[in-house]
Amino acid sequence: MKITPLQEARLKYEPKLPGMLRHGIKEIGVKEGEATESVADQEKIKELFPNTYGKKEITFEKGENTSASKKQVVGVILSGGQAPGGHNVICGLYDALKATDRNNVLYGFKGGPSGLLEDDYVEFDDEFIDAYRNTGGFDIIGSGRTKLETQEQFAVAAEVCRKHGITAIVIIGGDDSNTNAAVLAEYFAAHNTGVQVIGCPKTIDGDLKNEDIECSFGFDTATKTYSELIGNIERDANSAKKYWHFIKVMGRSASHVALECALETQPNICLISEEVSAKKMSLSQIADFIADSVANRAAKGMNFGVAIIPEGVVEFVPEFSSLIKEINELLAGEKAEQFNVLPSWKEKYAFIEKGLSKEAMEVFAILPESIQQQLFLERDPHGNVQVSLIESEKLFSALVKAKLDERKKNGTYKGKFSALHHFFGYEGRCAFPSNFDADYCYSLGYNAFMLIQYGYNGYLSKISNLSKPADQWVAGGMPITKMMNIERRHGEDKPVIRKALVELDGKPFRYFEANRDTWAVETCYTYPGAIQYYGPSEVCDLTTRTLALEKGL
């Protein structure tokens, strides 16, 4: 396979490790901290995880390695959506494993958790691993979204591990994947399998985050990639001076990506879903908010601008959420068949009008027809609206245009409004990892093996102090159960890792809030440019603005 000069250079990059992991394996000791408890629902979580609950947080430090010496056979799984740096987690895991004992073995299960259930794997060696160092993507073994959650699956996983003499499984994934890791760890402990489970925090959405996990891997690279593109569009908008660009970015459950991109690029508008929910904003109010920026800029002769829209914002609009619930009820069971056989949109519209409440129909009626139809096209396996497929960037530009047309009629707006639309999602998930993510991910993998070597089970690999240079990072581990609470999922109470939403009283949002009124009217664009891999540390090892603000930098 032909490789580019950049890829060839990146293959040779040597990731930086936290100071305490730079000592030889034999000089890495462990310090245990306080016992932990779950973030909420302590009694219920403790009851569900009697063998792995309440364990102590640990930190690695320079000292004598007191772990028991034994051959380790480790399996690794990539789970869920891709995130830059996943390959380096595996590389760090492999290097630590081999540095401890060349006879140790690392298996990669293909296609996500299903690879473990189907016993579909590859055994890594130096040549295999060396071809993927510091590269983006999950193509080293592929990923998947199969959930490990039933007793039957756990029994199959245990048998596959027994067959290969596997001593530990490392699951690289987001909140759902690491919830599955915790449940699998509990099963293995309860059945005395001798197999440990370690998780690694991954998601570009940034919502696997708490007082212990400062940042999930991939967030840095993905937001830098999107910010480069947004900055390019801002410069084009400021050059052509005739378009408003509506840009949707990933983040269905939380707006961390949108907020970070706004902090990096200073657009005229950035919606924050959590604020929309807190203020109970309607679609009309949001449209007016954006239209005010358009009108104020037009009054200064600037008929152009940039608006960032989080992928899941419509789900945070109370009236829209109510509409979705009514639509799901409207098309439940046999009603879906009755609706689908109607030959024209006019007849379907009449069916909808008859079935929705007056309040829901008022919301439905103001939507552009294309969005109305999207709500009734593709359904998820449970028959519900797939909200993530709604083109919210087009929805809001259409609503804004309608508002501006009204203002033109009453003489309060005389500008021009031409909208262009973009969605930045997959462009960032498999980008070449930034130096930060290359270093962070390699450290997570290396650290994961140290947790295995010391016999920990049901722990998340944890690297902290991330706003400092890598040699000051702190390596350790925390019980996954510490992050868990009980939530209602599909009609049942389930133990899950709590998602971290944007904190409206947090420093990143407060900084954005203090500046956005100026950005809305003036042209204050900043242009981050491409990710830099070589050069001064202050350019190449930059952390995210979110993390810098959180740490007071």
Per-residue pLDDT at 226 exceeds 70: yes
354 phi/psi in degrees, rounded to 5: -75, -30
* Residue in this structure with the two tokens 């809305």, named with its chain if needed: 520
Please check whether residue 494 lies inside any domain of the structure: no
Please check whether residue 165 lies inside any domain of the structure: yes
Model confidence at 383, in pLDDT bands (50, 70, 90)?
Answer: low
Q: pLDDT digits over 244-254, tens only?
A: 999 999 988 89
| Residue 213 and residue 241 share a domain | no
| Residue 157 and residue 237 share a domain | no
The separation between CA 170 and the C-alpha centre of its own chain, rounded to angstroms, equals 19
Please check whether residue 499 lies inside any domain of the structure: no
Lowest mean pLDDT among 80-84, 294-298, 305-309, 489-493: 489-493
For strands 168-173 and 419-424, give the pairing. Answer: unpaired
The residue type of 301 is G
| Residue 541 and residue 412 share a domain | yes
Cβ atoms of residues 82 and 137 within 8 Å: yes
Tell me which of 489, 514, 536 is where a domain ends: 489
| Residue 335 and residue 420 share a domain | yes
| Residue 123 and residue 39 share a domain | yes
| Residue 369 and residue 333 share a domain | yes
Convert 129-159 into a string of H (helix), E (strand) and C (coil). Answer: HHCCCCCCCCCCCCCECCCCCCHHHHHHHHH
Tell me which of 446, 463, 489 is where a domain ends: 489
Model confidence at 6, in pLDDT bands (50, 70, 90)?
Answer: very high
Q: pLDDT digits over 170-188, tens only?
A: 999 999 999 999 999 999 9
Q: Is 464 helix (H, G, I), strand (E, B) or coil?
A: strand
Tokens describing residue 183: 């449940």
Per-residue pLDDT at 481 exceeds 90: yes
Alpha-carbon dihedral sign for residues 349, 353, 355, 359: positive
483: domain CATH number is 3.40.50.450
* Strand partners of residue 385: 379
Residue ranges in 241-355 assigned as alpha helix (H): 256-265, 273-278, 283-299, 318-330, 334-340, 345-355
One of 95, 176, 205, 207 is an active-site residue; which one?
205
Q: pLDDT digits over 524-537, tens only?
A: 999 999 999 999 99
| Residue 248 and residue 156 share a domain | no
Lowest mean pLDDT among 4-8, 93-97, 375-379: 375-379
Please check whether residue 6 lies inside any domain of the structure: no
Model confidence at 434, in pLDDT bands (50, 70, 90)?
Answer: very high
475 sits in which H/E element: strand 474-479
Q: pLDDT digits over 158-169, tens only?
A: 999 999 999 999
| Residue 379 and residue 315 share a domain | yes
Please check whether residue 292 lies inside any domain of the structure: yes
Across all residues in the chain, what is the average pLDDT? 94
Tokens describing residue 188: 């293995």
The parent domain of residue 229 ranges over: 219-428+506-550
Per-residue pLDDT at 451 exceeds 90: yes
For strands 28-35 and 56-62, give the pairing. Answer: antiparallel
Per-residue pLDDT at 76 exceeds 70: yes
Q: How far is Cα 88 from Cα 94, in angstroms, rounded to an integer? A: 9
Q: How far is Cα 472 from Cα 469, in angstroms, rounded to an integer? A: 6
| Residue 367 and residue 475 share a domain | no
DSSP per position, 411-446: TS------EEEEEESHHHHTSPPPHHHHHHHHHHHH
| Selection from 212, 277, 278 nearest residue 498 by Cα | 212
Model confidence at 490, in pLDDT bands (50, 70, 90)?
Answer: low
E strands in 294-397: 305-310
Please check whether residue 9 lies inside any domain of the structure: no
Please check whether residue 327 lies inside any domain of the structure: yes
Q: How far is Cα 307 from Cα 248, in angstroms, rounded to an integer? A: 8
> Mean pLDDT across the stretch 265-281?
97
Report, in angstroms and rounded to the nearest whole number, the Rg of the chain calculated over CA atoms.
25
Please check whether residue 501 lies inside any domain of the structure: no
Question: How many domains are contained in the chain?
Answer: 2
Q: What does the DSSP 8-state code read for residue 67?
A: P
Per-residue pLDDT at 465 exceeds 80: yes
205 is catalytic: yes
CA-CA distances (angstroms) from residue 117 to 78, 120, 152? 14, 8, 10
Q: What does the DSSP 8-state code read for residue 247?
A: E
Q: How far is Cα 277 from Cα 257, in angstroms, rounded to an integer? A: 17
326: domain CATH number is 3.40.50.460
Per-residue pLDDT at 365 exceeds 90: yes
Q: pLDDT digits over 22-35, tens only?
A: 888 889 999 999 99
| Residue 543 and residue 443 share a domain | no
Per-residue pLDDT at 439 exceeds 90: yes
Tokens describing residue 101: 């004992």
Tokens describing residue 362: 């008022």
pLDDT of 553? 74
Q: pLDDT digits over 344-360, tens only?
A: 999 999 999 999 999 99
| Residue 332 and residue 238 share a domain | yes
| Residue 181 and residue 270 share a domain | no
